[in-house]
Structure 1
Amino acid sequence: MSTYPVEVTQTLGIPFKQFEDQIRKDLGAIGIENIVLVIFSDSNHPELKVIESISGRINLSACINKHLQKYLSNSLMQKCKEICQYEDKFVEQQVFDHNQLTNISNNLKAYMVRDCVTYGFQFTFIMHSLRDLNSAEMDKLRTICDIATAWANSWSAHHKLLHIWDNLVSSSGRMMQPDLTPSEGDVLKLILQGWSSTEVANIRQVSKETVRSQIKSILNKSQCNSQNQLIACYGHYKWLGSAPFESI
């Protein structure tokens, strides 16, 4: 499922390429030709959309993209967790079989499952086949749908985490990054490198009183009560590592 974001596959700590390859293999083994996987809170603006030919035999991307809103609207009328089987009427034209190099005349079979996942997201999973699945294949399909739903819960939770984290980092950066003069910026860098105020004065060739005054100004601008707190804040927010200090 090539459109999964890379950061998701890495951050969740699961070998998703191996996972995805196994799911493709299992779906293909029971006769599924094409899948549609959508996670959304607003059906007009899906957060994640995957449309993929599993077998390489047929390609429904153009048709599904054209009617995606209808697919999602239909899914919202379906009970959660139940696999609904129907003939796909949204495919208006004959489907071309890339293996046999011929048109397929019979109606496509669609299998759809919907579920409510974490943080208010909806998950719709649609699978197309050229034939009806038998009882054993349906049992396998239910297991795959359970796995896909669990994955959708993980994805939506991770998506929410990144959104909240971005807000925290941006708001923290606005609150915590002080507007320092060039001299104060130089003093702060030396403090963060572990130099004492006396050593900073020697390095900068200024009086201790000047350095103390600059440190007091830095603490005031950064809303820190002590040099230890200042160093702790730098370690947490990584001011110098993320962006240069604003100078006035």
Structure 2
Amino acid sequence: MEHPSDDKPAPGGDFLLSARAYQRLRAMIVTGILPGGSLVQERRLAEQLALSRTPVRDALGRLEGERMLQRQGRLLFVATVSIQEVISIFDVRRLIESQAARRAAQHMNDATIESLMALERDHAAPACADPGAMDEDHWRRDDLFHTAIAQATANLEIERIVAELRQRTRMFGATRLPCRVERGRNEHRAILDAIRARNPDEAAALMTQHIDAAQGAIVASITAGDIETPSPIPPTPTHGRQSP
């Protein structure tokens, strides 16, 4: 029987196995199972995922290209997102997503608007005191909202940039981002009201306020000392070598 870590691709299934490895590893990174700064070991991950090393290696290369992994010499680490970077990310998101909301008010179809309204209306937001307040369900709904608005622009570059910036925001750490679940939901509803009313200026202004509020909460938490600085990636060792 073939061992999961044997370096042998599955005939005819290379692409599907690589895609599966990519999706699972990406999820492990954004949810913090593989935290920022942790060492990535190809053989160990292949065994953990019950896959051969070839699709895992392909997936790691793709994740490195997306800046989710960072190489130090021969070693590969999960990338860290600094406080300054996440603040800068919100600066860029403000510019892009406000214009996306403006276009959504002009072009988003009624069915999509009503679907998003129902999503926000039916979402029972957890209390911020709960340890799992920023849970997977929250992130999924938040992704659906922001992704739908980006898609309404019919601009693939805007969709790609928004997705990448949100991914890096998530990598900053769900447990380190200030909980704004209820406030965020109310802000989403106001934006959708403006989009449904076909008011581009109002939609853009409300999206700007939404992004500013999220960024402001992070700055306030930093000032209060509630956010810890992420662990840096260790320097490349000068002696010895670790096997992959």
Same fold (TM over 0.5): no
Higher RCO structure (Cα 8 Å, ≥6 apart): 2
Give the TM-score normalised by the residue count of structure 2.
Answer: 0.24
Give the TM-score normalised by the residue count of structure 1.
Answer: 0.23
Higher strand share: 1
